[in-house]
């Protein structure tokens, strides 16, 4: 199991100092709007992924008139993670006191899933969101995937650079095509393996949350299924040159949702879409646990605003059965009290004007 046993924040948004010892199970962070409760979840997300789920401008995380913000966590397994965001010096990430060049090690130590208003766009949002969801899962079960994915992205960038120039040496483009095709096929195969193994977990999670017998998921790899990527790149070279970018490849992959003959995003109600997304996120955590033993951490931002009482109870009951660590933000903790079994006591923290205290 991967869980946070101690969390400390310094100068992050409106929180000057924060130190809590969360439960390894359920943690409810509650308070008025603007009190800082979502900032606690944001800090955990920043720690695990190196970015915010609220803004692309990381300087805005640093408290006004302060030079830096710090987030630190001790994990139940004994590891420690610390990140420092500085207006002048950028970021510094440390794992067990040792400086890191990127977030790969942290992502494996602290796998995070988030359910918030943005996550609920997974069905009707852009394919990029679904590729990110898919690649999160592949990354955690196929450890060589990230290096192949990065090399493929570099080849794609070089190929697109040549295409934008309009006039290029055909032999040079052919060389990039060969390498991009090889790597792109490897990315696709890894995604296919993951997707096929993931599907039964999704179907089980969906069954626990919502009866949608006709919902079907399919994986689209980003180019014609009947051809190799090299064939497609060769056939479409003139079109790619006109657009100045590669129109086929793993960068066009997607997960497609159908309800009978119709696009699920257009056929499902808003509430049904949110339950499907909840099932997707829960299934990823369940699959990860089955593959690696890690249960991960779930961040649920303002769940009462996103799901009605019946849906909340279903989602929370499944998370409770998983035995993973959960952080939920809400205005009124009473909105979540009925969502948990009598056997489980959630740890509550009240946030007010950037200050936090345990709540009985």
No. of helices (H) and no. of strands (E), the chain: 12, 15
Q: Across the 360 residues of the chain, what is the mean pLDDT of every consecutive 10-residue run?
A: 90 92 92 90 93 83 89 93 90 93 89 91 94 96 94 96 85 94 98 97 94 91 96 94 94 95 90 94 94 89 89 90 91 82 75 82
Q: What stretches of the chain show up as alpha helix (H) in DSSP?
A: 37-49, 104-109, 127-141, 145-165, 170-209, 229-235, 237-243, 264-267, 270-292, 303-306, 309-322, 334-337
pLDDT for the residue 345? 67
Query: Burial, 128: exposed, middle or buried (Cβ in 10 Å; 0-12, 13-18, 19+)?
Result: exposed
d(CA 270, CA 253): 25
pLDDT for the residue 360? 56
Buried/exposed 173-186: b ≥16 CB within 10 Å, e otherwise: beebbeebbebbbb
pLDDT for the residue 41? 95
pTM of this structure: 0.92
pLDDT for the residue 150? 96
Query: Burial, 328: exposed, middle or buried (Cβ in 10 Å; 0-12, 13-18, 19+)?
Result: buried
Domain limits of the chain?
A: 123-270
Query: Burial, 306: exposed, middle or buried (Cβ in 10 Å; 0-12, 13-18, 19+)?
Result: buried
Query: Burial, 28: exposed, middle or buried (Cβ in 10 Å; 0-12, 13-18, 19+)?
Result: buried
pLDDT for the residue 1? 60
Q: Out of 3.20.20.70, 1.20.1050.90, 1.10.3720.10, 1.20.1530.20, which CATH number does the structure's domain 123-270 have?
A: 1.20.1050.90
């Amino acid at each position: 199991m991967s869980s946070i046993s101690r969390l400390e924040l310094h100068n992050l948004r409106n929180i000057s100092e924060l130190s809590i010892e969360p439960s390894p199970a359920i943690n409810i962070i509650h308070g008025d709007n603007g009190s800082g409760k979502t900032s606690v979840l944001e800090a955990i997300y920043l720690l695990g992924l190196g970015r915010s789920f609220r803004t692309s401008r990381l300087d805005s995380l640093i408290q006004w008139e302060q030079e830096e913000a710090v987030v630190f966590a001790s994990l139940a397994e004994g590891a420690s993670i610390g990140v420092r965001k500085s207006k002048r010096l950028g970021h510094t990430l440390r794992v067990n006191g040792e400086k890191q060049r990127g977030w790969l090690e942290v992502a494996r130590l602290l796998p995070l899933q988030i359910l918030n208003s943005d996550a609920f766009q997974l069905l009707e949002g852009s394919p990029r969101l679904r590729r990110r969801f898919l690649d999160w899962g592949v990354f955690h079960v196929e450890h060589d995937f990230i290096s192949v994915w990065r090399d493929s992205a570099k080849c794609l960038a070089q190929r697109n650079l040549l295409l934008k120039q309009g006039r290029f040496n055909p032999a040079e483009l052919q060389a990039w095509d060969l390498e991009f095709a090889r790597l792109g096929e490897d990315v696709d195969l890894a995604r296919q393996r993951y997707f096929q193994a993931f599907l039964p977990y999704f179907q089980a999670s969906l069954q626990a949350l919502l009866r949608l017998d006709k919902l079907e998921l399919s994986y689209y790899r980003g180019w014609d299924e009947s051809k190799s990527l090299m064939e497609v790149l060769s056939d479409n070279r003139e079109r790619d040159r006109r657009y100045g970018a590669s129109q086929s490849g793993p960068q066009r992959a997607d997960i497609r949702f159908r309800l009978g003959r119709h696009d699920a995003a257009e056929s499902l109600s808003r509430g049904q879409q949110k339950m499907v997304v909840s099932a997707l996120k829960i299934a990823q955590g369940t699959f990860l646990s089955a593959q690696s033993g890690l249960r991960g951490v779930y961040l649920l931002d303002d769940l009462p605003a996103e799901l009605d009482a019946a849906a909340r109870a279903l989602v929370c009951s499944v998370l409770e059965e998983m035995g993973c660590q959960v952080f939920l933000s809400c205005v009124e903790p009473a909105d979540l009290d009925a969502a948990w079994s009598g056997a489980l006591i959630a740890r509550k923290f009240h946030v007010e004007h950037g200050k936090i205290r345990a709540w009985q």
